[in-house]
Amino acid sequence: MSGKFKKRLTSICIHYGKFEDGEDTGWEPDAVIKLEHAKAIKHILPQIKKVLVGGCSSGMGVFAFRQLDVQAWGFEISPDLDRIVPPEVKAYARSGSMINIPFDADDNFDCLVTTDVLEHVQLKYINRAFREMKRLNCKWMAHLINHTDIKPDHMTLKPLKWWTKQARPYYRLRTDLQAPESGNSRIYGLNGDLRHVYTFWEMV
């Protein structure tokens, strides 16, 4: 990692990935976590060159992939998108949702990535969301799906078997592909918690 990138990453962690009111949530700052996520996904799918990050929030995932020389764009439903996204990402983030993705097949993405996003889609819109994902014509998807945390905005908490059935007309779960575990227990999704791991899907 270059000194210039380390300096910029530190700045982003301070300004965009900081803990609210100085509270330590038990996790690393979001910018650090997203970089580890991007590295793990790139490790499993080294061939990907162009990635779309669904539900990109403040754009840290987009920023992370771009630091790894992967072309990355993102979309987010938040009305505060323009305010929360750092300058480096603004040109690559659009307003949109999983049931109205603001990109299409002509954008030629290799992979769609989501982290704790699919469970936010209402049950009645799940099929529509998968049709939208299929419309992108990505060969690969990488999803970290929350199955267990009951929150007001977690609309669809279902086991992986259920998600596999919903995706079946379009994508198949590649159970042989497993993201590497980080040595840092503060990296969400890569800390060995089997309830919260990335799953990899290949177009049928």
Domain chopping of the chain, boundaries: 3-203
Average pLDDT over residues 23-32: 87
> What are φ and ψ of residue 53, in 5° steps?
-100, 110
Distance of CA 138 to the CA centre of its chain: 15
Rounded Cα distance, 173 and 201, in Å: 5
Confidence tier at 148 by pLDDT (50, 70, 90) = confident
Rounded Cα distance, 56 and 72, in Å: 11
CB 19 within 8 A of CB 4: no
Look up the CATH superfamily of 3-203. Vaccinia Virus protein VP39 (3.40.50.150)
Q: Worst-scoring range by mean pLDDT, 171-175, 177-181, 191-195?
A: 191-195
Confidence tier at 150 by pLDDT (50, 70, 90) = confident
Query: Which of 165, 108, 115 is closest to 137 using CA atoms?
Result: 108
- Tokens 């771009």 belong to which residue? 66
Sign of CA dihedral 95, 98, 104, 109: positive
Rounded Cα distance, 161 and 60, in Å: 29
Give the global pTM.
0.89
Residue 11 has pLDDT above 60, yes or no: no
**pLDDT the model gives residue 7:** 52
Residue 167 has pLDDT above 90, yes or no: yes
**pLDDT the model gives residue 152:** 84
- How crowded is residue 159: how many other Cβ atoms within 10 Å of its Cβ? 10
